[in-house]
Amino acid sequence: MTEPGGNRSARSGAEGTSARDPETVSRFVEHFAAQLVEAGMPRMPARVFAALLASDAGALTSAELGEQLQISPAAVSGAVRYLAQVHMVSREREPGSRRERYRVHGDQWYEALTNREAVLKRWEDALRDGVDTLGPGTPAGRRLAETLAFFEYLEGELDALMERWRAHREELFGRS
């Protein structure tokens, strides 16, 4: 099924996935990872995240990630540790095995963004201290106060933004 704008929807299932060219998938993974790196994500976590996102199951083992990305188990482990800390992937035990699978969820962007709220709070606290320390009437104090006001505004808008996203997501993809 094609959504407005020509995008295939998640409802289209696995149609046509068996003919997928691994080289084409690899190019996508590397291209998307490069965009994530450009935005500030470390390179290896970006590659692992893009590979998980591009997998039909949304989950791969360390061995599968290592083989697909041509990286060591240690590189996979470090990347997954980072991605788990920022709530972009989760670890799952394979039933009856000691192996773990790493999974990306449909709501990974929501989770990552909403978990940033704690970071915003810490930044706001530090900026408040900075305004008090530097003095609200100084040029530096005013600059910090403006930055603080921006983060407070952003935090206030996040809840409403996420509610609109949930409604929009449900409209496009149904209840998950």
Domain total for the chain? 2
Sequential pLDDT tens for the chain (176 residues): 434 444 434 433 444 445 689 999 999 999 999 999 999 999 999 999 999 999 999 999 999 999 999 999 999 999 999 999 888 899 998 778 788 899 997 777 777 766 777 778 888 999 999 999 999 999 999 999 999 999 999 888 888 888 898 899 899 988 86
- Is 4 among the domain residues? no
Angle 42-48-51 from CA coordinates, rounded to 5°:
135
CB proximity list for 91: less than 8 A, separation 6 or greater: 80, 84, 100, 101, 102, 103
Same domain for 93 and 124?
no
Domain that holds residue 57: 10-105
- Is 110 among the domain residues? no
| Cα–Cα distance, 170 to 173 (Å, whole number) | 5
Same domain for 24 and 91?
yes
pTM, full prediction = 0.70
DSSP-assigned letters across all residues of 85-154: HTTS-EEEEPTTSS-EEEE--TTHHHHHHHTHHHHHHHHHHHHHHHHHHH-TTSHHHHHHHHHHHHHHHH
